[in-house]
Chains A and B, each alone.
Chain A
């Protein structure tokens, strides 16, 4: 197991390098001159030259690339092209909101989806199953931006239970602000987790080792939650990992709907203002998330299934 963890950690290094390279070149082949974009079409030529020099844009591409790599690897992404603020600070302000949203949504998704999925599989064809499948249908067919607006209308505007906008100040207030956005993303995720758990558990319940457990005299709830569910969790974990990544982009929409600070809001702002350095840094952070989530998924799978670490 320790060997497997080390191996997987080492594999992260080339992935990160590849991601940085792709982000760098993808932005360089985008049409338009960043200096012109930042200063405007009618800026004085010498101002544009000074701007280029300041950001190192007049240097050869390979020099820019290595400078970018060196910066990114030390966590220093330079200053925003637009307002000159250090990007590190901007990210540090935005990240906690996005991470809190993604974690809260995942927690809701697992807390609702996993037990509901297990119950629908066990009582297949019954009332609980019908309810669960209806829930999943709703969850899958409601787009998060629309569902978010519905929640806002009902619980903020009419009932006034939750704040409309912003991220909140102080822990409790932030928690208060987190509820509706987290439910928006979390319920959709719960629908996904439910479907995944249901189909995976139905498959596992047919296996011979489940019969072996029953044949030993294991009580039915332990047959399901100990013997079957642990096996069923392997595809659920993998699926969750993939889904969590789409949820990360989902946070962008939800942050916009709820006017929440966060990585999404920051990135969208950067894109519309053509703030290349900011977008570049934001993409790197998103990519870093992807790598971390993938790594966590793999390690979790290995913890659940002893066969994985041996491959």
Chain B
């Protein structure tokens, strides 16, 4: 049994202008001690997928309309609120995207971390505080005692992001969901944080779901990758396989748009066009208006996700 098994997850947004299929039939699994990367452009449903795993999507307008999210065999989608609370922050924890807005401005950083500890470990106040200072030290904050007593606005963006990461790690979760955890950090800190995540994975067997648009981070940290486009899963592959031989034209386009230091005087490749708006999705494959290889069938029928060999699954009528 996998630590996390997501099957046919569909999250729709019910807005005044119609239903937006933000996540439309996504499936993946994460083993304990392994990590999965989710990549894709902004608005492809990465964050919505991540939030669904803890049922933190904004309801309304969003709702999980079908599918299952099995964590340790239990379905998060149908779980009672009490059981869900016991998991959140304890067995499943999340590192949020925006460090500037994810911390409560009226409580100190230490209070906010200690709260999670006290909720799940039933520690005394002082033990929880000690743990808060400890995790701040763990995430590489040089002066954890002072930072624990500081309010979020007294800290820099990088410090806040590390505090958010510390909060997620405080109860040593079995599954860590990291939504762009290093985007707000400079490169040296980024490397430290990735190293920390790797260590957690190795020492505690933490499973990691890493959401990012930074393919460098993906190559560095994860074991398997899923690529999302317009709410759909278009490719799933082991990380080496994905970088060596992408099978979906969109994945290939993403990889070609990464600047390289080796090849000079080459214009950076881009994928022409933009993601179609949610209410005007094309028939057939959603990528067809931007695909140079699109054939007739691509405009008519949606390609199913099928095994295309070498451990790779792709949803394409004409895989590369």
Binding site for B on A (CB under 8 A): 206-209, 211-220, 227, 230-231, 304-307, 310
Contacts and interface: CB of A to CB of B under 8 A. Distances in A.
Interface of B: 51, 54, 56, 58, 81, 85-90, 93-94, 96, 98, 101-107, 112, 115-116, 119-120, 151, 153-154, 164, 167
Contact of A209 (B85, B105, B116): B105
A209 B102 CA distance: 4
Kindly name the residue among B86, B105, B119 whose own CB sees the greatest number of chain A CB atoms within 10 A: B105
A212 B98 CA distance: 11
A227 B58 CA distance: 17
Kindly name the residue among A208, A212, A216, A227 whose own CB sees the greatest number of chain B CB atoms within 10 A: A216
Contacts of B93: 215-216
A305 B106 contact: yes
Given A215-B56, A217-B116, A208 B105 contact: no
Contacts of A215: 54, 56, 88-89, 93-94, 96
Nearest to B55: A214
- Give 6 closest A-B pairs by Cβ, nearest first: A216-B89, A217-B88, A217-B89, A208-B101, A209-B104, A216-B116
A230 B111 CA distance: 15
Contacts of B154: 310
A262 B251 CA distance: 78
A269 B215 CA distance: 79
A72 B217 CA distance: 71
Contact of A214 (B56, B101, B106, B115): B56
Contact of A304 (B88, B104, B106): B106
Contacts of B164: 212
B87 A212 contact: no
B181 to A, nearest CB: 14
Nearest to A124: B60
Contacts of B120: 217
Contact of B86 (A208, A212, A213, A217): A217
Contacts of A305: 105-106
Contacts of A206: 58
B98 A208 contact: yes
B145 to A, nearest CB: 18
A231 to B, nearest CB: 6
Contacts of B101: 207-209
